[in-house]
Amino acid sequence: MPDPRIGRLSLTALLVALVAGGCATSPTEAADRAECKAYARPFEHSGRMKDACLINRGYEQVCDTTLGSVKVRSTGESRQPAETVASDLKACNDETSRLGMKWGGSGIDQFAQCMGPRGYTVTGVR
């Protein structure tokens, strides 16, 4: 008969690995991430919709833009609907791409300048 302590050790090691790896750190966050993934699945740009859903729920989310990855978080108590967040992400990515190709400079700064007035904080990914 297997030693039951081995199962507990394996489960503990798995949980530590998930938390250290940046996965959900609470049951609520895990549920939110699962719900947002399911919500975004039918959309053409499901990655952006999943990010938008999580930002809408108050999480800081790493988003890929044309000129680099950024962390985005909603600044307001009353957050925009996920569809609006996704539209803002796309509009600022498109604007950053256009300006970045034309003027050069930091894509992260340009993206942050576009997102700030829309109600988001943006920081670079380190």
Over the stretch 22-44, which tens digit does the pLDDT of each residue have?
455 688 999 999 999 999 999 99
User: Which run of H or E residues covers position 64?
Assistant: strand 61-65
Give me the residue label for tokens 């809408």: 56
Whole-number Å distance between alpha carbons of 15 and 21? 10
Whole-number Å distance between alpha carbons of 55 and 17? 24
Over the stretch 46-93, which tens digit does the pLDDT of each residue have?
999 999 999 999 999 999 888 778 999 999 777 789 999 999 999 999
What is the four-CA torsion angle of 31, 63, 74, 113, rounded to 10 degrees?
A: 180
Res 17: pLDDT: 37
Res 25: pLDDT: 66
Predicted TM-score (pTM) of the model is 0.72
pLDDT class for 14, splitting at 50, 70, 90?
very low
Do 30 and 24 meet the contact criterion of CB atoms below 8 Å apart? Answer: yes
Query: How do the domains of the chain map onto residue ranges?
Result: 24-124
Among 75, 122, 115, which Cα is nearest to 94's?
115
Among 61, 68, 80, 73, which Cα is nearest to 121's?
73
What pairs with residue 123 in β-bridges? 71
